[in-house]
Amino acid sequence: MGLILKIAAGILLAGFISLGLRLAYVNYTAHMAQQAMQEQIERQKERRAMLERQRKEQAQLKKQRGLIAAQRAKEKATENALKLKTWFQYYKAPEGCHSFKSDQHMVECVSHKKRARQEFDRLYSQGQITADIST
């Protein structure tokens, strides 16, 4: 009977050891899974932060481009206004073209103005006519 108890105790002890090892293994794998999940969460946070930085940088670039475009448009409008002012200073309509006497007379006056404008544009683009900024 003593031998049976020793065998039973050995089997019981082996079962407890086996159970302890299995619990340790399950605990270890759970810990590793938790650590892997934590690393994945950190990578996702870093990716979100990077995407947010990129979005902010793109928004800043878009804003800067808009400001540059607005500045260029303002400069172009100022330049066009100055050119138009210079045109009005440059062009003097021929005598009698302030009121038209006939359709033919109107065509002649409009043609004169068109030729004068083409000549003005050519001279202005070559820098031979400059805008008077002081007035």
The tens digit of pLDDT for each residue in 69-82 reads 999 999 999 999 99
Which residues of the chain fall short of a pLDDT of 70?
A: 132-135
Q: What is the DSSP letter of 71?
A: H
Reduce the DSSP state of residue 20 to 3 states and report it: helix
Closest CA to 90 of 126, 117, 57, 51: 117
In this prediction, residue 133 carries a pLDDT of 61
- Contact between residue 112 and residue 97 where contact means Cβ atoms under 8 Å apart: yes
Q: How far is Cα 79 from Cα 132, in angstroms, rounded to an integer?
A: 12
In this prediction, residue 8 carries a pLDDT of 87
pTM over 0.85: no
Q: How far is Cα 16 from Cα 12, in angstroms, rounded to an integer?
A: 6
In this prediction, residue 134 carries a pLDDT of 57
Return the percent helix, strand and coil in the chain, to nearest 5: 85, 0, 15
In this prediction, residue 128 carries a pLDDT of 86
